[in-house]
Amino acid sequence: MAGVSPPASESPSADGGFERRIGLLQATGINMTQMCGIGPFITIPGMIAAMNGPQAMFGWLIGAIIVLADGLVWAELGAAMPGAGGTYLYLREAFQYRTGRLMPFLFTWTAMLFIPLIMSTGVIGLVTYLGYLVPGLVDAEGATTFAGHAVGIGVVALVVLLLYRRIGEITRLTTVLFGVMLVSVVAVIVAAYTNWHADLAFAFTPGAFSLDGGSFWLGLGAGLMIAVYDYLGYNTSAYLGAEIRDPGRTIPRSIVLSILGIMSLYFVLQVGILGVLPWEEAAKPGPIASTVVEHNWGATAAQVLTALVVVTAFASVFAGLLGGSRVPYNAAKDGVFLSWFGKLHPRLHFPHVGLLAMGVVTAVGSLLDLATVIAMLTAVFVLVQSIAQVLALIVLRRRQPDLARPYRQWLYPVPCLIALLGWGFVYVHSGQQEIPGTGINQFVLSLGWVGLGVLAFLVWARREGSWPFGPKEIREEFLSRS
């Protein structure tokens, strides 16, 4: 699971209090830490099922092409505007000329949905793997039972309770999380290749790559949706731009290196699993990592690995909600979001409104199946963050041609076009998914959520007397420093 790197609202001014101490190695490590989590342990069966066979291994490669193209968008924007805030800053700078603060408001509004949904996938994964140790949490088909849902809600409540206090730095927690995740992934890879069979790994289904309806092409949309979800986090160093040394060089390199590194890890992991079990078995929902380790190393080793995965999942939810709760707080303090999210707890001094709101959404999301949650969060963030940010780069090239750009996107505008096509393809596919039991597809959800965000913005802007009910505030903060 990709981690969450919340936008902050501080300006990149010299007296902003930030120290540039993060180098290339640390920045790349931070990106990879955020990219990896519970994700590959719970989505590999879905990838195999979506693409109907071992050809699923190529889904990771095509997904990497999309995120690499998008990474080059982040690279130029992050190098040119190395402040704390990432997307929040880029949308504010690019779209302020015509729509005032609408776009950064919508980004924060959207983050209120997609950040806790990402945490919901961690809860679902935790229950899935805990079910390997505790019978009764998942059924024979891999679906979460009533008891499993109760445990998931309990996990969310426990995380919120643990966060309902003064919280210091979580660097150690993030480091431990990355270490546990890395040990888990490496253990599965080593276990897989100790008894690996090429005839299983490369047993592509007949006609899989046929251009007239092969299973590879039919399942590519669902496969890319999973791959993109698992790659999320490659942009973390851009969010930390105010603390990066030599950001014009470090941010672009850290993004490219982290994508290539994680792509290699996922590909090797996927091929390894396919070489242990027949793909029909590997495609079944469930704790695939535990199954592979038990198959090759025995039940005791599988139980130890499962415990590590459960710890990874819990820590990722903990860290994600801690950071996510700060997103609406920072935006509210900067005057571009609803004011009640900018209040701190009177005694404990942390943004409790954001924590409680995101905790509720996380709990509700944990009641849905994994594929639905991934489709929901993908449909929402692609529309307001990914596509809007590609357009922001193009707008800034025209609006601020004199902006200092230490890195200019290679082969511009080709990566922008690839990213737009890729995100559009993923959005169209995710939009066709339905929320179980409602008949509502993700198009309706994403457009409805954005529509509600526009209405909320208009109410807020009316009270603040800002555009469209007052003058626009044109900042051009980074251009003035060029």
Alpha carbon distance 139, 409 (integer Å): 49
Specify if 12 maps to a domain: no
Task: Identify whether the C-beta of residue 369 lies closer than 8 Å to the C-beta of residue 409.
Answer: no
Taking only the tens place, the pLDDT of each residue in 148-168 is 999 999 999 998 888 776 544
Contact between 241 and 93 (Cβ < 8 Å): no
Q: What is the pLDDT of residue 454?
A: 94
- Which tokens sit at 319? 């860290």
For the chain, give the percent of residues with pLDDT over 90. 47
Q: Say how many CA atoms lie within 13 Å of 226 toward its Cβ.
A: 28
In a domain, 17, yes or no: no
Q: Is residue 45 part of a domain?
A: yes
CA-to-CA distance for 90 and 93, rounded, in angstroms?
5
Reading the block at residue 241, the tokens are 């731009």
Collapse the DSSP code of 271 into the 3-class scheme (helix H, G, I; strand E, B; otherwise coil) and give the result: helix
Task: Tell me the residue range of the domain where 57 lies.
Answer: 24-481
449 pLDDT more than 50 = yes
Give the mean pLDDT of 303-310: 92
Worst-scoring range by mean pLDDT, 14-23, 354-363, 412-421, 450-459?
14-23
pLDDT, tens digit (0-9, with 9 covering 90-100), for 340-379: 888 877 776 677 888 899 999 999 999 988 888 888 888 8
130 lies in some domain: yes
Q: How many CB atoms lie within 10 A of CB 12?
A: 18
What is the radius of gyration, based on Cα positions, of the chain?
Answer: 22
Lowest mean pLDDT among 84-98, 187-201, 311-325: 311-325
- The confidence score (pLDDT) of residue 37 equals 73
Instruction: Note the pTM of the prediction, 2 decimals.
Output: 0.85
pLDDT at residue 420 in the model: 95
Report in angstroms the alpha-carbon separations of 312 from 54, 178, 255, 370.
Answer: 27, 8, 23, 17
Higher pLDDT, 438 or 163: 163
Token duo for residue 3: 């981690």
What integer pLDDT is reported at residue 1 of this predicted model? 52
Exposed e or buried b per residue across 227-245, where buried means at least 16 C-beta atoms within 10 angstroms of its C-beta: bbbbbbbbbbbbbbbbbbe
CATH number (domain holding residue 244): 1.20.1740.10
What are the residues facing 22 on neighbouring strands?
244
- Please report whether residue 6 resides in a domain: no
According to the model, what pLDDT value does residue 18 have?
57
Domain assignment present for 447: yes
- Residues sharing a CB contact under 8 Å with residue 275, sequence separation 6 or more, in sequence order: 192, 193, 196, 197, 198, 200, 201
Q: Mean pLDDT, to the nearest integer, of 258-279?
A: 94
In a domain, 4, yes or no: no
Q: From the CB of residue 1, how many other CB atoms can be counted at a distance below 10 Å?
A: 31
Quote the mean pLDDT of the chain. Answer: 86
pLDDT tops 80 at residue 171: no
Q: What is the total count of domains within the chain?
A: 1
Burial of 346 (0-12, 13-18, 19+ CB in 10 A): exposed
Report pLDDT for 6. 43
Specify the DSSP class assigned to residue 382.
I
- SS3 for 287? coil
Cα(first)–Cα(last) distance of the chain, in Å? 37
Residue 7 located in a structural domain = no
Determine the Cα–Cα distance for residues 38 and 414; give it in Å rounded to an integer: 33
CA distances from 59 to 55, 322, 415 (A): 8, 32, 19
